[in-house]
Amino acid sequence: MPDNLPLTNYSSIDIVSSDKQYASLSNSGKRLIRRVGPHRFVGSVSFPLLTKVQFSAIDAFITYIKNSGETFYLQLPHKKQSSVFAWGTPLVNGAGQSGYTLVTDSWSTGANSAALETGTYIAIEGSEKLYLLRNDVDVSAGNEATISLSNKLQFTPADNAAITIEPVMKCNLVGTPSYTVIPPELYSYNLEFEEVIE
């Protein structure tokens, strides 16, 4: 398995949002939240039953990742869109943006509502951090859209930074991968990962 290709042939994936935080109450009864560290996605991947040849290729790749400390890429499941849509080349519209929304432009001409559905992952040029859409993305007649994010922007994107739709996730291996041998020659394989924040 080439080092530069994302893992794609898994049978199931479990992704959760990891945002460590502590909550407390002030004397007035107001709830205060303190976050510790950046938001990231973490999860686990299981592979289908594998032949010895298939298993050996994955095991050699994961063993290299584990021993070298290198990162790897994981292809996330695609969010099936309700309609066929040519996205165009969406770009960040204006520098200095922060928070849970992102103003964009340069979507495909003739775009309409629900260009992207809630739960779609995107990446923004300048960082490999992934963001999850909180709402459907509706594109205006002027090819502009304001994107609502489930996780807060962790950097300030530049004006005209490109938006990548359904990107791969850059990951670190977490813990020790496990596998089961099912005689005479079938294997199952599981691993845990965490998103790399860069």
Three-class secondary structure assignment of 120-141 = CEEEECCCCCEEEECCCECCCC
Supply the pLDDT for residue 5.
Answer: 63
pLDDT confidence bin for 148, thresholds 50/70/90:
very high
| Mean pLDDT rounded to a whole number for the chain | 86
pLDDT digits (tens, 9 = 90+) for 19-61: 776 677 777 777 777 666 788 999 999 998 888 888 898 889 9
Which tokens go with 3? Answer: 């080092």
pLDDT band at 111 (very low <50, low <70, confident <90, very high): low
Given a cut of 70, whether residue 115 has pLDDT beyond it is: yes
Render the burial of 119-140: b for 16+ CB within 10 Å, e for the rest.
Answer: ebbbbbeebbbbbbbebbbebe
Percent of the chain's residues with pLDDT above 90 = 44
Inter-residue contact 44 to 193 (CB < 8 Å): yes
Closest CA to 171 of 153, 191, 151: 191
The reply to whether CATH 3.30.200 applies to domain 12-76+170-195 is: yes
DSSP structure string for 140-152: PTTS-EEEEBSS-
Enumerate the domain spans of the chain. Answer: 12-76+170-195, 79-166
Which CATH code, of 3.40.50.720, 3.30.1370.60, 3.40.50.300, 2.40.30.290, is assigned to 79-166?
Answer: 2.40.30.290
